[in-house]
Structure 1
Amino acid sequence: MKELMKAILVEEEEGVSKMKWADAPYPRPTASGQVLVRVKAAGVNRPDILQRDRKYEPPADASPILGLEVAGIVEQVYGDSRWRPGDEVCALTHGGGYAEYVWVDERHCLPKPAGWSFTEAASLPETFFTVWFNVFQQGRLGANGKSENLLVHAGASGIGVAAIQIAKALGHRVAITARKEHQLAICKSVGADEAILLEEDWSDNLLKRFGKVDVVLDMLGESTFSGNLDVFRPHGRLVYIAFLTGAKVELSIPKLMRKQITLTGSFLRPQSFSTKASIAEDLKNQVWPMIESGKIKPIIERTFPIQEVQQAHELMEKGGHVGKIVLTL
């Protein structure tokens, strides 16, 4: 049995987090119903950067190795599983994705879409799980059986382009905000009905050009909060998944009461394994057929060999990219 594999390890040198491709203990299963995936590609996400810099503490039972999503080939099965060695999958991990091998809950795996590369498939799990949980389960977009209006802030992000494509494929109208002109054009090219520059008057422009919205997916926080309340229809749902521009906001309670707005939000990683399994099942049944039919396409800004993880993180931190950043093995 192997004792070592290669993985990205994080060390602190003079207060700065340094990442290197080095020997690490070969992973072992922690529960029945897991599969060992030989990683071919791993997505880069902002929580990876926070964990790298010790600004985010992963769950106690999670792998200390960075990486929340992978695509690869099933090597082993531990306990009952629908997967078999040789199956090509993409998976939401409980950490550990920046490595040659990772054990994952078999329920959190989805088949690699036909015609997609491992690199493209690795762009799916973290973003699609997040969008489905927050926009459709928490935000209840389309729960009344009718087409609704969705607003996505930071629409050019990996989360943003996923939300655009899923919502459009399910028959909803989508508007986005972004900070740069080229991001607006790309978002419209993947399905956004309207794209608004995130300037001081963004909410007025949205109302003039798109109309009122039913659900807002917001990862910015402070800078967009007041405008969000202005653009809602009655019974709107505001869903937070991050707060990149600040975590504290001033709430006009009468405005919230008049429109009967629901305010919610979540972190994906602390959700139970069963909750994540239910998200995966919904994705398999409702979203994967649209991926297979070509209605949803991979949007990748750039790929890096995993040994160049530092450059990948720098691109993520710089911002301005569109879609996903992916590491390849």
Structure 2
Amino acid sequence: MAVSETLTSLPCSINYGDRMKALQANAGQLSWQTTERPHCGAGQVRIQVAAAGLNRADLLQRKGLYPPPAGVTPVLGLECSGVISEVGAGSAWQVGDEVCALLAGGGMAEEVVVDSQHVLPVPEGVSLLEAAALPEVYATAWLNLFILAQLKPGERVLLHAGASGVGSAAIQLCKALGNPCWVSVGSAERLAYCQSLGAQGGVVRGDNVAALADWAPFDVLLDPVGAAYAELNTRLLALDGRWVLIGLMGGRKVELDLAQMLAKRIHLLGSTLRSRSAEDKAELVSALRSEVWPLLASGQCQPCVAEVVPMADAERAFALLESNQVQGKVLLQL
């Protein structure tokens, strides 16, 4: 089923005055509707959106399970790429710059206004369209592995849901920076995909997830699953292992043997990105530009795009991501 009021021409050719078109969720239904055009103030830039990345947070927000933070637009979309069309006072960006941006919301629209410190240039060798697949996944992977878990060269990593957008980025960062990693995934095809990106190996979750013990212990574990793998995680982690919990796809409640966590001195770190302060995000974006963007420009890391879907067919894009059969990112193109 297509989104209501489908887009029939490029956003730059449409002029609504103080209005624009944007994707919102009303009672669980997606709607491409006219809404208020955001104001561009000091320290901000306006981006004419070329494409937006689709994330699980968007699926949850659509269902009413993950409302945007206070003061953030209800328009969906946590990352986008596009061309700067307006620059607020105090910003070093220029009109016409091709960029991508980390957002708290609003990316699935004809245009978005964002803090200029949350904007990144399109890396050399990456297309404007592909750049929409970068900000959220690389920010998530870098924040959780290298800032919170303080991953050191040579330490071993386990990535649950390794073929996801975040997993794809994390595998490439681990390979580039000298960290052998293993994955759990949903199919043999997805395991082969992860290995093609640099994973050492892994297991298919429908077979024998406990076989991950063959490669244990792991120093850092990135976990979007939660309860379903919690007991296993405590067994797989090394002494002083760091378990970074970033999602609850496998449930939120579990009984754990705390004695095992105590004996191994396991660090359990809960982490979200969307609700972090503007200052935290600015520091993270700065780190991406200095540490990760050179890896993208050199080809050591790359955007992993599973499929590009027209905004008018957003329902199909949401269903595709929810199927858990995606390798990499789904993009919505204007």
TM-score by length of 1: 0.94
Aligned to 1:321: 326
**Secondary structure, in 3 states, of the residue corresponding to 1:70?**
strand
5+ residue gaps, structure 2: 1-15
Contact 1:153 1:218 in 2 (8 A): yes
User: How many Å separate the matches in 2 of 1:215 and 1:292?
Assistant: 27
Mapped pair 1:206 → 2:216: no
Mapped pair 1:53 → 2:53: no
Select the residue among 40, 43, 46 that pairs with 1:36. 46
Mapped pair 1:192 → 2:199: yes
Select the residue among 226, 235, 238 that pairs with 1:230. 235
Select the residue among 73, 76, 98 that pairs with 1:63. 73
Q: Which amino acid in the other structure matches residue 311 of structure 2?
A: I
**Secondary structure, in 3 states, of the residue corresponding to 1:233?**
strand
Mapped pair 1:276 → 2:287: no
Q: How does 1:248-263 map to 2 (within 5 A)?
A: 248-263=253-268
CA deviation vs aligned residue, 1:158-201 (integer Å, no higher than 9, x gap): 11111101121111111010021100000000110112112474
CA deviation vs aligned residue, 1:260-307 (integer Å, no higher than 9, x gap): 110011111110011111111111111111100001122111111111
Contact 1:239 1:264 in 2 (8 A): yes
Mapped pair 1:265 → 2:275: no
Select the residue among 139, 156, 159 that pairs with 2:163. 156
Select the residue among 13, 17, 36 that pairs with 1:25. 36
User: How many Å separate the matches in 2 of 1:253 and 1:135?
Assistant: 23
Aligned to 1:125: 135
CA deviation vs aligned residue, 1:39-77 (integer Å, no higher than 9, x gap): 000000111111112122211111110111000011111
TM-score by length of 2: 0.92
Aligned to 1:110: 120
Q: Which amino acid in the other structure matches residue 9 of structure 1?
A: Q
Contact 2:68 2:104 in 1 (8 A): no
User: How many Å separate the matches in 2 of 1:135 and 1:198?
Assistant: 22
Mapped pair 1:165 → 2:172: yes
User: How many Å separate the matches in 1 of 2:299 and 2:191?
Assistant: 22
Aligned to 1:298: 303
- What is the Cα deviation at residue 10 of structure 1? 2.6
CA deviation vs aligned residue, 1:58-108 (integer Å, no higher than 9, x gap): 111111101110000111111211211111111011211110100011111
192-201 or 237-246: bigger deviation: 192-201
Select the residue among 19, 26, 29 that pairs with 1:11. 26
User: How many Å separate the matches in 2 of 1:32 and 1:129?
Assistant: 24
User: How many Å separate the matches in 2 of 1:109 and 1:225?
Assistant: 35
- Which consecutive aligned stretches of 4+ in structure 1 deviate over 4 angstroms post-superposition? none
Q: Which amino acid in the other structure matches residue 187 of structure 2?
A: K
Contact 2:227 2:248 in 1 (8 A): yes
181-190 or 55-64: bigger deviation: 55-64
**CA root-mean-square deviation:** 1.3
- What is the Cα deviation at residue 231 of structure 1? 1.3
